[in-house]
Chains A and B, each alone.
Chain A
Amino acid sequence: MEVGIVSYGAYVPRYRIKPEEIGRIWGVDGKAMGKGLMINQKSVPSPDEDVVTIATEAARFMMARVPEVDPQDIGAIYVGSESHPYAVKPTATIVAESIEATPAMTAADLEFACKAGTAGIQACMGLVGSGMVRYGVAIGADTSQGAPGDALEYSASAGGAAYLIGSENVIAKINRTLSFTTDTPDFWRREGQPYPLHGGRFTGEPAYFRHVTSAAKMMLDAMGTQPSDYDHAVFHQPNGKFPTRVAKQLGFTPEQIQYGLLTPEIGNTYSGAVPLGLASILDHAKPGDRIFVTSYGSGAGSDAFDITVTDAISGYKRDRAPVLEKILADPVYVDYGIYAKFKEKIVMPE
């Protein structure tokens, strides 16, 4: 059975803050920091936005593009995030209700640092491929946390993308997926703690680079391909620097990763990062395009995907929802005071 992407939708909040503004507050050369991380600005969620609203918006855009799909035919919804608004009570049920997919379906929230969204795609592929469900929805979304003054504060942002996985009218066939997973504590957040901690430079070589390159190489081996066989590639992007370097190490060109690299303009959307990068590629994709995808989640693991865009994308009603270029077109810049208020960093009276 051919399993793949039937539709997708992406959403990023409208507000932005620049690294120089964050640096101004903490006595850091934010501009240099941003340059080093290759982050020009990051998205900031409005006070009334969270993973539920971001995931819902992405899912609604996804459904708007396939009016022929009855939401009642969706058999599973997984929302991957590390900032679910409830510790207990799923985001997925609220999203499911919002796209009128309830009640004959299964749902769950996933967490695997920044790769819970791609883990959801894998889960849906299994359910669709086995014939257990007709359609599955996988969403990666976050309103990620960075402790005030920490390096993460320059990148942690908000956004998400949703994927309708099925076997009919597939616009992008997923040829294969595989993963590389180990116990590597490079980044974590304990239950009840507001901010994550990380292992500093340990997050680089033994964590991000080892897992991304291992999964990518496993995929190239498994498919018997080389980087030049792909039109587009997207790698997890905690900043602009890591994916650019890992692409180069693996032999991908800057042209191949250009559409999928959003972090310089929106920051690190965590679970939303690779799903958003892939959405941006699909916004530009033509029939026959081959796409190489590798996510990364701290803790740690990478999911790789080999995807081929099908002829069905020509008849796909993409313009029934806004493409990322349009969504990102008219940002509103906020200063650190507004940012702190929006992110509820200011203690208010009861």
Chain B
Amino acid sequence: MASVAKEWREIPGRYNLIGTKCGNCGKIFFPSRDFCPVCRRKGIGKIEKYKVARTGEVYTFTVIYDAPDANVRQKPYAAAMVRTDDGILISGQLVDVDLDKIEIGMRVRAVLRKLDSDGASGVIHYGFKFVPEL
């Protein structure tokens, strides 16, 4: 069985899109970083929690036919890079969508879905995916 801690520690990002922001330069990081690669030492001690917007638009997308085991019941499934309304680019699956109607620029919002599970008896991993905005 895989480590549960590995997934558990990512819960804030996985569930609630919680990243960080450098108090020195204002740059937003998702996933969170404790060290600003722009300010480096000047950013130390100034990194704060930042909650990324849950809505945005499709920047680019694909429909995946060669699926990993976790998505075998959903293939083909869509994946996208989404530019959130606060300007952050994030990768996630795009579900509950008509595959032939996905377009760059389409409005989407983040929801919580099952990403994977550690076999039939192991822990279930939840995280964000995107759906078309209602």
A, B: real partners: yes
Closest to A94 in B: B126
Q: Nearest Cβ in chain A — how far from B111, in angstroms? A: 6
Which listed residue (A14, A50, A52, A348) contacts B72, Cβ 8 A? A348
B96 interface residue per 8 A CB criterion: yes
Are A49 and B114 touching (Cβ within 8 A)?
yes
Which listed residue (B15, B74, B96) contacts A98, Cβ 8 A? B15
Closest to A50 in B: B114
Q: In the assembled complex, which residues on chain A have CB atoms less than 8 Å from the CB atom of B15?
A: 94, 97-98
Q: In the assembled complex, which residues on chain A have CB atoms less than 8 Å from the CB atom of B46?
A: none
Are B73 and A344 touching (Cβ within 8 A)?
yes
Tell me the A26-73 residues at the B interface (CB within 8 Å): 46-50, 52-53, 56-57, 60
Are B126 and A53 touching (Cβ within 8 A)?
yes
A201 interface residue per 8 A CB criterion: no
Cα A322 to Cα B111 with chains together (Å): 14
Are A49 and B126 touching (Cβ within 8 A)?
no
Which listed residue (B11, B16, B98, B113) contacts A48, Cβ 8 A? B113
Interface string of B95-134 (1 = CB under 8 A from A): 1101000000000000111110000000010100100001
Are A327 and B134 touching (Cβ within 8 A)?
yes
Q: Nearest Cβ in chain A — how far from B59, in angstroms? A: 22
Q: In the assembled complex, which residues on chain B have CB atoms less than 8 Å from the CB atom of A100?
A: 16
Interface string of A6-30 (1 = CB under 8 A from B): 0000000110000000000000000
Candidate in A47, A57, A85, A341 with the most chain B CB atoms within 10 angstroms:
A47
Are B74 and A48 touching (Cβ within 8 A)?
yes
Q: In the assembled complex, which residues on chain A have CB atoms less than 8 Å from the CB atom of B11?
A: 97
Q: In the assembled complex, which residues on chain B have CB atoms less than 8 Å from the CB atom of A326?
A: 134
Q: Which DSSP category, helix, strand, loop or mixed, fits chain B's interface?
A: mixed
Cα A93 to Cα B111 with chains together (Å): 17
Cα A342 to Cα B75 with chains together (Å): 11
Q: Nearest Cβ in chain B — how far from A298, in angstroms? A: 27
Candidate in A14, A48, A49, A344 with the most chain B CB atoms within 10 angstroms:
A48
Closest to A99 in B: B16
Cα A52 to Cα B111 with chains together (Å): 12
Which listed residue (A14, A53, A98, A322) contacts B114, Cβ 8 A? A53
User: Given contacts A97-B15, A326-B134, A327-B134, are A49 and B113 in contact (CB under 8 A)?
Assistant: yes
Candidate in A46, A57, A86 with the most chain B CB atoms within 10 angstroms:
A46
Cα A57 to Cα B112 with chains together (Å): 7
Q: Nearest Cβ in chain B — how far from A260, in angstroms? A: 22
Which listed residue (A60, A98, A327, A341) contacts B73, Cβ 8 A? A341
Q: Nearest Cβ in chain B — how far from A165, in angstroms? A: 22
Closest to A47 in B: B73
Q: In the assembled complex, which residues on chain B have CB atoms less than 8 Å from the CB atom of A46?
A: 74, 95-96, 113
Q: In the assembled complex, which residues on chain A have CB atoms less than 8 Å from the CB atom of B74?
A: 46-48
Q: In the assembled complex, which residues on chain B have CB atoms less than 8 Å from the CB atom of A342?
A: 73
User: Given contacts A57-B112, A100-B16, A327-B134, are A48 and B129 in contact (CB under 8 A)?
Assistant: yes
Q: Across chains A and B, which 6 residue pairs bring their CB atoms closest together, nearest first?
A: A47-B73, A48-B113, A322-B134, A48-B114, A56-B112, A14-B96
Chain B contact residues, CB within 8 Å of chain A: 11, 15-16, 72-74, 95-96, 98, 111-115, 124, 126, 129, 134
Chain A contact residues, CB within 8 Å of chain B: 13-14, 46-50, 52-53, 56-57, 60, 85-86, 94, 97-98, 100, 322, 326-327, 332, 341-342, 344, 348
| 12 sampled A-B residue pairs with Cβ under 8 A | A14-B96, A47-B74, A49-B113, A50-B124, A52-B114, A53-B126, A57-B112, A85-B124, A98-B16, A322-B134, A327-B134, A341-B73
Contacts A85-B124, A94-B126, A98-B15 given; 6 further ones with Cβ under 8 A? A46-B113, A47-B73, A48-B95, A49-B114, A52-B124, A60-B112
